[in-house]
Amino acid sequence: MADCIFCKIIAGEIPSVKIYEDEHVFAFMDIMPLSKGHTLIVPKTHRAYVYDLTPDEAANLFSVVPKIAAAIKETFEPVGMNLLNNNGTQAGQSVHHFHLHFIPRYGQSDGFGAKWVTKEKEFTTERIQELAGQVKGKLG
């Protein structure tokens, strides 16, 4: 896409700090990192959301995820790592080219946090089973 910032980075039209590239995947350091080593990985083919990835595109991308995560872990020695993907504006996606964040964690006060508010009263075991059945029906 002509106006996609990640497509422009992949094409070399916008500079980046690349850490990995092959014929299908491009990985680079985030320019507004949440922690030391914060990295993005993107497919070279423009796909806005995870739902748009073909099985081959997803396989190519996720086949290098462990390699990149291990290199980040070995280099920076974080105590953990979040892998994060936002799909859609309401989910926090600001660049609409599928991307996965590798966010190394160095402790509870490293600037990144996610708070889960569970709804166990709304989602009973029976309701969860019903929802799972709906999803399974779409999978065939």
The active-site residue, picked from 38, 96, 97, 99, is 99
Element (H, E) at 39: strand 39-43
Compute the residue count for the chain: 140
- Cβ atoms of 61 and 43 within 8 Å: the answer is yes
- Please list, in sequence order, all residues whose beta carbon lies within 8 angstroms of the beta carbon of residue 22, skipping any fewer than 6 positions away: 60, 64
Q: Is 99 a catalytic residue?
A: yes
For β-strands 18-21 and 25-29, DSSP reports them as antiparallel
- Cβ atoms of 48 and 87 within 8 Å: the answer is no
- Cβ atoms of 36 and 72 within 8 Å: the answer is no
Please, what sign has the CA dihedral across residues 67, 60, 46, 18? positive
* β partners of residue 83: 102
Please list the active-site residues: 99
